[in-house]
A and B are shown apart, each in its own frame.
Chain A
């Protein structure tokens, strides 16, 4: 083929003209990925969008004119990488965390208040059911509470033993280390139950409500056993110190699941997928909060409850925690975005 036959546009020349831009963009992206936006000078930052657009335009031209597979693949990969870096990173992780704690987390919890109320009622209903059943016939207790969870705290136990499980007149020493393991087990167990009740929400929220009801049942059964031995008030304190945080977290996780379930059943004007995705984002924020709350509850349970044995003080701490969470979530604040 002679030179005269060649079209004036050639993909070889196209590449030779633009290749420097692609290489520069590639280097810039690598730097951005490795060391973050702070590593770039202001001149480089200004060049970033220009190079990005140049690469995208090269991709469009190459797709229409070039048959060089390696070139096309490279431009495609480079454009995708560039797109997600240019449009993806808008704030640092630190400011993300700050915004989450200050605004997003409480706003997400406020957004699911209806679901929170419903789940709270479900838990209370579960507690009332098992309480009334066990109070009338202690045999019911064995149907409600798992052997491994009860640890000997059942209707057959003596008052002394039950009192010792509440942290009064404990022998101390020997069982101390075992308790830590138990507390850790409780934290991971509770977190997993919470995550499950959230994650099962998409099944129209039914498994979520069942899980929460079951949680209430365990609670009510224990309450009935202790109050039948005249330890109701002490048990309340034992439960209250971490229970306000833990049960609140449980209710919120159920609420998050229910929100997703409701979105799937009643998507409104949106498509079901879209509705589920939107609800999932709110619920996801709530769930991070729930895990943090469970961590606090675990600390209160593992340390607070072992160190503080006075029942009134336990009630006091539990109430303060409850007020703290309520205030944090529901008191409106300045600069709120949601």
Chain B
């Protein structure tokens, strides 16, 4: 990894962050949900909806209601429509503004202007889903049903409708047509557990590092080290400990976890002191 790739990675993740200032004046820095998460959420929702429908028709059959096939057809046509339309609207009107699929993926719907997510916005964004999902399918259906339509016409129709459906791939805010019309965004809303403070526990027999030994790393490396320490994978710890030892020229003398923990604590204290003095050293390539 070089300084350039590091900077590029930071720029890429900064591109996903949107300023979102609360009335208290704090920027919440919302992160736009990726298209993959959106697709995953949609697939989960569609699977759950079909499962609900299936259970419902099994239940109806069990009650003995649908002796004739007509009622079953009715249930499927009406049920699929009602569920599809109101599943998304109903869940997104809730306090978490997310369908079960979205909740699973850790994303939620947010009003773009930072205000309250209104019911009309939720309705508008979800009714347009009907268009985005079914217009390409309809175009295909029309093409196969009517012989007079040539293959090229079908292709043009499907392509045109796909550009609508895949609209979210073409803008950096990952808005679908529905989000555009309703004035909404889908952002990350993952929960993060409050992990214990690994610098808090007092240690016995801690190692001491000199200023020169601590000055080789920056914030990026510190937080990578934190990830390794919280992960507690002995092999990863060994590898990282050996790398650091080689870098600062220390012999292998003590346990990896003791070594890494002491190094992490002192590096963190050093860098945080720098922060208080207005010095933020992003990574090891940045100057002191």
Contact = CB atoms under 8 A, between A and B. Distances in A.
B97 A84 contact: yes
B246 interface: no
A180 B181 CA distance: 36
B266 A59 contact: no
Interface stretch (B2-10, B35-43, B127-135, B251-259): B127-135
A96 interface: yes
Interface in A180-237: 180-181, 184-185, 187-188, 191-192, 195-196, 198-200, 202
A15 interface: yes
B81 A191 contact: yes
B219 interface: yes
Contacts, number: 188
Interface in A94-117: 96, 100, 104, 108
Contacts of B135: 196
B197 A68 contact: yes
Nearest to A85: B95
Given A60-B26, A199-B130, A284-B124, A87 B192 contact: no
A160 interface: no
Chain B interface bracket (under 10, 10 to 19, 20 to 34, 35 or more): 35 or more
Interface stretch (B53-61, B151-159, B222-230, B233-241): B222-230
Given A200-B131, A280-B183, A285-B120, A71 B273 contact: no
A196 B123 contact: no
Nearest to A64: B275
Interface in B92-107: 93, 95-97
B195 interface: yes
Interface in B200-253: 200, 208, 219, 222-223, 226-227, 230
Most chain B CB neighbours (cut-off 10 Å) among A9, A84, A279: A84
B261 interface: no
A282 interface: yes
B130 A184 contact: no
Given A65-B272, A67-B219, A80-B30, A188 B81 contact: yes
B276 A69 contact: no
Given A6-B269, A88-B97, A191-B81, A15 B197 contact: yes
B26 A282 contact: no
A65 B268 CA distance: 11
B121 A90 contact: no
B22 A69 contact: no
B179 to A, nearest CB: 9
Given A22-B194, A56-B22, A287 B124 contact: yes
B70 interface: yes
A198 B197 CA distance: 53
Nearest to B278: A64
A199 B85 CA distance: 14
Interface string A267-307: 00000011011111111110110010000000000000000
Interface residues of A, number: 81
Contacts of A11: 199, 272
Interface string B17-44: 0000011101011100000000000000
Contact of B78 (A78, A84, A187, A274): A187
Contacts of B191: 77, 81
A142 interface: no
A88 B195 CA distance: 28
A68 B192 contact: no
Contacts of B51: none
Contacts of B93: 93, 96
A306 to B, nearest CB: 15
B121 A284 contact: yes
A69 B194 contact: no
13 contacts: A1-B208, A7-B273, A33-B95, A56-B24, A69-B226, A84-B110, A90-B116, A177-B70, A187-B78, A192-B134, A196-B131, A273-B180, A274-B183
Given A71-B194, A84-B108, 15 more contacts: A1-B208, A12-B197, A36-B95, A56-B22, A69-B226, A70-B192, A80-B28, A80-B189, A90-B116, A100-B119, A180-B74, A188-B78, A202-B177, A284-B120, A288-B123
